[in-house]
Amino acid sequence: QAQLVESGGGLVQPGGSLRLSCAASGITFSMYAMGWYRQAPGKQRELVAGVTKEGSTNYADSVKGRFTISRDNAKKTVYLQMNSLKPEDTAVYYCSAKRVNSYWGQGTQVTVSS
């Protein structure tokens, strides 16, 4: 059974950094496109960053130059390095795996506040 488990969220001051991790099991990880989404209170879930199975990446305009997505197929893990964090980055961050089916993690809270 497919499972995605996020970790690395927390409270950070503006300008700080966090690295989120998402460990996958139950899927052929290397065959899946992976993505990070976020959902702030009262807002729709939005794509933050994605990486294809070939390694191509894409980012939301709001995080370009600050966030970096990467994947380690040997560890079946996708990462989101978040630098220069802003209060508006506060949200629950979700990991997703997409091929024919889509799978989601349970989410990890990121709070950017002084």
| Structure confidence by residue, pLDDT tens digits, 43-101 | 999 999 999 999 999 999 999 999 999 999 999 999 999 999 999 999 999 999 999 98
Per residue, what are the HEC states of 33-58? Answer: EEEEEEECCCCCCEEEEEECCCCCEE
User: Rounded to whole angstroms, how far apart are CA atoms 31 and 45?
Assistant: 24
Banded pLDDT at 14 (limits 50, 70, 90): very high
| Structure confidence by residue, pLDDT tens digits, 97-114 | 999 989 999 999 999 999
pLDDT recorded at residue 110: 98
pLDDT recorded at residue 55: 96
